[in-house]
């Protein structure tokens, strides 16, 4: 889509997702989202275009706050795109329009945090119209991480650009194409791996995948709600007592649809939520009082890795345990390695969700996956079957 347009002498207003982590000195600690946006920016500059970048950073409560200023990421951005970046300390106003009007070919202007204005998250039409009226010839959405939000800069703004002048950037296009491939053109067997803390966060996702996947692997804290629903003793493990009937229903639906829903046979359990806790291996139906499951056990790892070895399509969303602690990371690491091995054997793998991506990056396995999504909530809602406003606004 981007490649069909000539940007020579044109201005492109790009919605990027530069919501990146900063340390106490405001240094970027993970530049994944910046590096992911770089190809789109560099493409437009290489064609002789001008780039205006807008993004949010963090969750500012009341107007401008220095710790959320996008000026902090300017140096990191310059490293990735290889040209100087000008910064404007606002994203609205007459002065900004004057600065944009004077931009020369090949220049990059970064606007201040959009969320310093409450109208951004409110999807305010006037703010969207004002952003669209900065003088850009094209609007490009390259922020998949915010595509599930109907904010002023992510979807409403597109209404003020004619067809052919509102486009996906390379990142957005790759995200949509790869996610669509998983949902609508998955080669079988399709294995979905779901983890994380709560069943409630994944109910819609599981229900949608029951019509698509042949195998669904359940790990992480959410698994113990299923075991409690089946009458097991789960000790102090994380359980959503009000979701037991839903867990029962999901197990029943999986059986009716002939989908293999794999629960972990055993866990590494601990007597405290701590790295130095006492640990042991335990069957997940018989976790003693005072103990909690914090990682996959050896039987669960062996079974899950066996299922993954035969997969042709793999979706992974959510860790298998408390991987941040070394004593409880083996399950997540083993699953990540199994996905990497399956990918090397020809499977297509997509990893989505902040914790899963963090785990893959931390284990040094990101290059061995077919695709790593930058969108946490967006990728989850996409796989739940929901329509994403940021996608709809471009495709119509």
**Residue positions annotated with a catalytic role:** 33, 198, 354, 377
Q: Vertex 96, ends 93 and 101: CA angle to 5°?
A: 130
CA atoms in the 13 A half-sphere facing the CB of 294: 23
d(CA 238, CA 269): 12
The residues pairing with 110 across neighbouring beta strands, listed in sequence order, are: 53, 87
Burial (0-12, 13-18, 19+ Cβ within 10 Å), 231:
exposed
* Residue 262 structure tokens: 């794999």
The SS3 call for residue 150 is coil
Placement of tokens 């359980």 in the chain = 239
Residue 2: alpha-carbon gap to chain centroid: 22
CA distances from 381 to 120, 148, 384 (A): 21, 7, 5
Q: Which of 270, 342, 269 has the alpha carbon at shortest distance from 304?
A: 342
Rounded distance between C-alpha atoms, residue 381 and residue 377, angstroms: 6
Sequence-distant (≥ 6) Cβ neighbours of residue 358 within 8 angstroms: none
Three-class secondary structure of residue 155 per DSSP: coil
Q: What's the CA gap between 311 and 119, in Å, rounded? A: 45
């Amino acid at each position: 889509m981007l490649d069909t347009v000539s940007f020579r002498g044109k201005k492109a207003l790009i919605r990027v997702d530069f919501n990146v982590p900063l340390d106490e000195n405001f240094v970027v600690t993970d530049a994944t989202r910046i590096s992911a946006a770089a190809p789109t920016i560099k493409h437009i500059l290489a064609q002789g275009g001008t780039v205006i970048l807008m993004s949010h950073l963090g969750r500012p409560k009341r107007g401008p706050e220095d710790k959320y200023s996008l000026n902090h990421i300017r140096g990191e951005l310059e490293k990735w795109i290889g040209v100087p970046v000008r910064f404007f300390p606002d994203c609205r106003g007459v002065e900004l329009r004057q600065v944009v009007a004077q931009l020369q070919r090949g220049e990059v202007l970064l606007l201040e945090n959009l969320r310093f204005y409450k109208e951004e998250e409110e999807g305010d039409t006037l703010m969207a119209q004002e952003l669209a009226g900065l003088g850009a010839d094209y609007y490009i959405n390259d922020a998949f991480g915010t595509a599930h939000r109907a904010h002023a800069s992510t979807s409403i703004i597109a209404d003020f650009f004619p067809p052919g002048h509102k486009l996906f950037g390379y990142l957005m296009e790759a995200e949509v194409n790869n996610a669509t491939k998983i949902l609508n053109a998955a080669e079988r067997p399709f294995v979905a791996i779901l983890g994380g803390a709560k069943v409630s966060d994944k109910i819609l996702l599981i229900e949608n995948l029951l019509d698509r996947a042949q195998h669904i692997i359940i790990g992480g804290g959410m698994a113990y709600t299923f075991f409690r629903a089946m009458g097991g003793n789960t000790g102090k493990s994380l359980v959503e007592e009000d979701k037991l009937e839903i867990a029962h229903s999901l197990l029943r639906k999986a059986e009716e649809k002939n989908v293999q829903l794999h629960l972990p046979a055993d866990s590494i359990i601990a007597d405290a939520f701590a790295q130095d806790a006492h640990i042991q291996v335990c069957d997940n139906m018989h976790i003693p009082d005072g103990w909690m499951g914090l990682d996959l056990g050896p039987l669960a790892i062996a079974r899950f890795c066996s299922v993954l070895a035969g997969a042709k399509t793999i979706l992974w969303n959510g860790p298998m345990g408390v991987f941040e602690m070394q004593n409880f990371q083996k399950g997540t690491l083993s699953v990540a390695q199994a996905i990497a091995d399956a990918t090397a054997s020809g499977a297509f793998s997509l990893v989505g969700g902040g914790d899963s991506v963090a785990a893959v990056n931390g284990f040094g396995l990101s290059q061995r996956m077919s695709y790593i999504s930058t969108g946490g909530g967006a990728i989850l809602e996409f796989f739940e079957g929901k329509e994403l406003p940021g996608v709809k606004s471009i495709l119509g």
